[in-house]
Structure 1
Amino acid sequence: MGKRRYLLYIGIFLLVVFNYVDRVALSVAAPAIAAEYNLSPVQVGYLFSAYLWTYVVCLIPCGFLTDRYGAKVVNGVGVLVWSGATILTGLASGFVSLLGSRMLMGAAEASTYPAGGRVLRDWAPRSEFGLAATMLNSGGYAGPAFGTLLLGWVVSVHGWRWGFYTAGLLGLVWLVGWLVWYRVPETATFVGEDERAFILRERDSGAKSGGSADGFGVLLRSRSMIAVAVTQGCAVYTQIVFLTWLPSYLANVKHMSIVKSGLFTAFPYFAATVFAWVLAHLSDRALAAEGGSSTGRRRRIVVVSMLSAAVILAAPFVDSTPMILGLITISLTGLATGISLNIALAADLLRSPASAGKAMAIQITGGNMFGLIAPIATGYIIAATGSYDLAFVAGGVLLVTGAVITLTLTHAPIGGDLPAPAVVPALRRA
């Protein structure tokens, strides 16, 4: 049996990579933009957060549209608009136009995770969903790594505007491949019949019979759905702090050039991507040995990952640049693994595959309700204290909180009624 489905995992990974290259473009260019337009840390914090305002608002509609029209259409339109908005950012003439283009980018990028989650729910067998979800989400770490290296060089040589032009063009190139090659497994011609039968059989094991979709109301009444969404928020808060402020931290506190700060930002992100893939693969194997993922036992790995990420609490007590980067690398690895496997945990517990887009939208909305606060709160913390220490502490406390929520509140299935009462005790024992 072939593994051509991995081409789809790689494609969705690259989608999120280029999505995050667009996001990190402002982080790389921020020192130059702040100097050109005389922006305060608080104003820069609002610019960092602007794309999340519209992103959060549009996630639920994008989840609904994905379940109704499919991933190909929703993702295609989304990539076209957010790539174009990134290019427009390079044409901005001041604070207001920068804010507007970033808000447009955020609205369009809301399509990425609901559509990506639907692709994985269509293509990934349950036995490898942890790895597949991690490949999707780890694009959010490989993207900043690649983006800070590439755009750091582009900005230093050609100016900050060309950073945005470059980032936008990468998304448009990806879009061409998506429109030409993407199909659902039922109609894809690049997979063999044995692999197609395996995917269709395994992806729906334990799913609600009939394949009908649950509404938002049904999903939101699930304690586990709310718990994975809040846990997502506790982790995404710290992720967004790193994504938006890390290059500025290295430039302003550690006095690094744009190129050097790009290199030092890239290493923790690259390491987090690789380690997250390895840990996700091991989690799939461990769960398979224990009888499968549908019981929600994946929560244990999420808890350990969140607590590992909380090592960033030690940052205020460390002055050495190598040690700070070590802490950031460990924290990012925990974040990459925890967020990815939290997405997989939601899929493990979700009863209906037809609700995948909506469930992903709820989870990512929860994550980014916290995330949109992170850049602004960090800007105020820096302005008030002249230090990044409290920003790291806030992130660490939230990570510990998310670990407790996951451990205690993710024991029930998400969605409609169980077909057999015998499943419930197994879920409660996990």
Structure 2
Amino acid sequence: MSYRRGWIAVFLFTLAMINYMDRIALSIAAKPIAAEFKLSAVGMGYLFSSFIWSYALFLIPMGILIDRFGAKRMAGVGIFIWSAATALTGAAGNFTSLLLARLVMGGGESVSNPVGAKVIRQWIPASERGMVTSMFNSGSYAGPAICSVFLGALVAVYGWRFSFVVAGGIGFLWLAAWLLFFNSPDKAKWLSVDEREKIVRERDSKPAARNTSVTADAGQTASGLLSLLRSPTLWGLALTQGCNVYTQYLFLTWLPSYLQASRHMSISKTGVFAAVPYAAAVILCIVVGRISDHYLKKSGVGTGRRRNAVALAMLTGAAILAVPFTTNLAALLLVFSVTLTGIASTTSLNFALLNDLLPSSKDVAKAMAFVVVGGNIFGMIAPIATGYVIDATGSYDYAFVIAGALLVLGAVVVLTMTRRPIVAEPKSPRVQAAA
């Protein structure tokens, strides 16, 4: 990948990193917040889940707006809102204001994944899509890795309120750089003519057609979301994402509490321990993405063969099933590292598979939004379900078993439901007659 379009990968990596720093900030500060507001495990589960409610609600509208108004404008609006909400979380005086701040943050963060998919489709040649998507997604693991250590230290020394102010401030720095430097390839003055031509020429490799409805100019034709929803493949990708995201949010929301309650670690030690598997996932996720691009080099991305890599990554993530049987901390660190690498790779590969199977570049943001909604329906359940499991059993073991079972199920779904390109399916004769 050339140096100049490599800056786009840096923008996307840091966008996802800041996004997840702000998400996990609450988990890092969970113990003092629960003590201050007198919250039970069930209460914390609802609080952990709250930002996902607004996040999922706004994803599809944001995807439509991004397809219409562009990534630059909508990403700027989104990160401004969520960074301000994160900073203001530190001023929360009661549970209600804390909950409200998280809801506003979630609404702002709904731009992140649709923007990432749109920018990748605009800027990145299809042969590099897997690696750059992995770099974008790996930011969502770099965020928790950095946040676990950095914000953990801030909470321990300065208290939980100050940590939210710092986390929110970082987003405003990213926003300034984004508004100053980012643009589409045809408008970016810092891009060379040769590189611009390469991007435009190679970014829209078409999925392999299995029926005559996939035309040569499909990449230039936009479809409505309702038309896309008639494609079983889009539903398969959304279900796959859901089975994977459940585990991601289990880690994102409950891992620090698990380490403190079950492994008897302090807040600062929890941060260091949790950072290691997240850091491993950052590096290995990018490696897996590069391997997937190499795997598809001969057959082409349009064959959809990337689904095999998605399934393999999910089965790797199912290593979480070993957690209840792991007593040694070194072994536990290895299991967490393997699991997080598996689920990180699944997300990036699933996102790349969506772009592989979607003929129209004009549908990317809305299709991505739907897949992410599917993921976050499961994601919003994970913190709440885990809270109830802990409250009912006094243990985290069953929470890990549920997560592992869903990863195995997701591998089956992606292998069976993503066999065709995502094209707007015609209405059934009965529907047409009714119309």
Q: Using structure 2 for the length normalisation, give the TM-score.
A: 0.94
CA distance in 1, matches of 2:151, 2:75: 24
User: Who is 2:202 aligned against?
Assistant: 202
Identity across matched positions, percent: 50
- Alignment of 1:324 onto 2:296: no
- Rounded to whole Å, the distance in 1 between the matches of 2:226 and 2:372 is 17
Distance 1:261 1:343 in 2: 31
| Equivalent of 1:346 in 341, 347, 354 | 354
Q: Distance in 1 between matches of 2:102 and 2:378?
A: 18
Task: Give the structure 1 partner of residue 157 of structure 2.
Answer: 157
The CA deviation string for residues 292-327 of structure 1, in whole angstroms up to 9 with x for no partner, is 111100011111000000011111111222212211
Task: Give the equivalent residue in structure 1 for 2:363.
Answer: 355
Residue 63 of structure 1, CA deviation: 0.3
Task: Output the aligned Cα RMSD.
Answer: 1.3
Write the letter of the residue equivalent to 1:170: I
Deviations 1:322-342 (A, max 9, x none): 212211110000001111100
Q: Write the letter of the residue equivalent to 1:286.
A: Y
The alignment status of 1:259 with 2:283, answered yes or no, reads no
Question: In the alignment, is the contact (CA less than 8 A) between 1:228 and 1:346 conserved in 2?
Answer: yes
Deviations 1:113-152, CA, capped at 9 Å, x for gaps: 1111111110011001001111111111111001111100
Whether 1:413 aligns to 2:432 is no
Map of 1:227 onto structure 2: 236
Q: How many residues align?
A: 417
Aligned to 2:147: 147
| 1:129-148 alignment runs, 5 A limit | 129-148=129-148
Q: How far has the Cα of 1:416 moved from its partner?
A: 3.8
SS at match of 1:255: coil
Distance between the aligned counterparts of 2:89 and 2:222, measured in 1? 38
* Other structure's SS at 1:134 match: helix
Do the aligned partners of 1:13 and 1:138 also contact (CA within 8 Å) in 2?
A: yes
SS in 2 for 1:4: helix
* Per-residue deviation, 1:3: 3.4
Residue 98 of structure 1 corresponds to 98
Residue in structure 2 matching 1:277, options 275, 279, 286: 286
Q: Tell me which residue corresponds to 1:293.
A: 301
Aligned partners of 1:225, 1:324: CA distance in 2, in Å? 35
The 2-side partners of 1:412 and 1:206 are apart by: 13
Describe the superposition over 1:5-56 as per-residue Cα deviations: whole angstroms up to 9, x where unpaired: 1100111110010010000000000001111121100111111000000000
Corresponding position: 1:383 with 2:391: yes
Distance 1:211 1:3 in 2: 28
Contact conserved, 1:122 with 1:184, CA < 8 A, in 2? yes
Aligned 8 A contact 1:52 1:368 in 2: yes
Instruction: Measure how far apart 1:417 and its partner are.
Output: 7.5
Q: In structure 2, what is the Cα distance between the partners aligned to 1:386 and 1:324?
A: 20
Q: Which residue of 2 aligns with 1:245?
A: 254
Q: Which runs of 5+ in 2 are unaligned?
A: 208-215, 427-435
Cα distance in 1 between the residues matched to 2:382 and 2:140: 16
SS at match of 2:39: coil
Q: How does 1:47-126 map to 2 (within 5 A)?
A: 47-126=47-126
Distance 1:416 1:198 in 2: 29
The residue identity in structure 1 corresponding to 2:262 is V
Match of 2:213? none
Distance 2:287 2:100 in 1: 39
Counterpart of 1:368? 376
Letter aligned with residue 278 of structure 1: V
User: Does the 8 Å CA contact 2:231/2:425 hold for their aligned counterparts?
Assistant: no
Contact 1:237 1:395 in 2 (8 A): yes
* 8 Å Cα contact 2:90-2:163 kept in structure 1: yes
Q: C-alpha separation between the residues in 1 aligned to 2:251 and 2:424?
A: 38
Question: Are 2:230 and 2:425, in contact at CA under 8 Å, matched by a contact in 1?
Answer: no
Distance in 2 separating the partners of 1:47 and 1:79: 21
Q: What CA deviation, in whole Å up to 9, does each residue of 1:370-393 have, x standing for no partner? A: 000000000111111110001100
Task: Specify the code of the residue in structure 2 equivalent to 1:5.
Answer: R
Residue 314 in 1 paired to residue 322 in 2? yes
Task: State whether residues 28 and 148 of structure 1, in contact with CA within 8 Å, keep that contact through their aligned partners in structure 2.
Answer: yes
**Structure 1 segment 148-187 matched on structure 2, within 5 A:** 148-187=148-187
CA contact (8 A) 2:227 2:425 kept: no
Quote the Cα distance in structure 2 between the aligned partners of 1:190 and 1:262. Answer: 39
Q: Is the 8 A contact 2:9 2:135 kept in 1?
A: yes
The correspondence for 1:236, drawn from 226, 229, 245, is 245
Q: Is the 8 A contact 1:2 1:192 kept in 2?
A: no
Q: Secondary structure at the match of 2:45?
A: helix
Q: Deviation of residue 205 (structure 1)?
A: 2.1
Residue 397 (str. 1) matches residue 405 (str. 2): yes
CA distance, structure 2, for counterparts of residue 159 and residue 88 of structure 1? 15
Contact 1:129 1:284 in 2 (8 A): yes
Residue 417 to residue 384, structure 1, CA distance change in 2 (3 Å): closer
* Offset at residue 291 of structure 1 (A): 2.5
Q: Contact 2:238–2:373 at 8 Å: present in 1 too? A: yes
Partner of 1:189: helix, strand, or coil?
coil
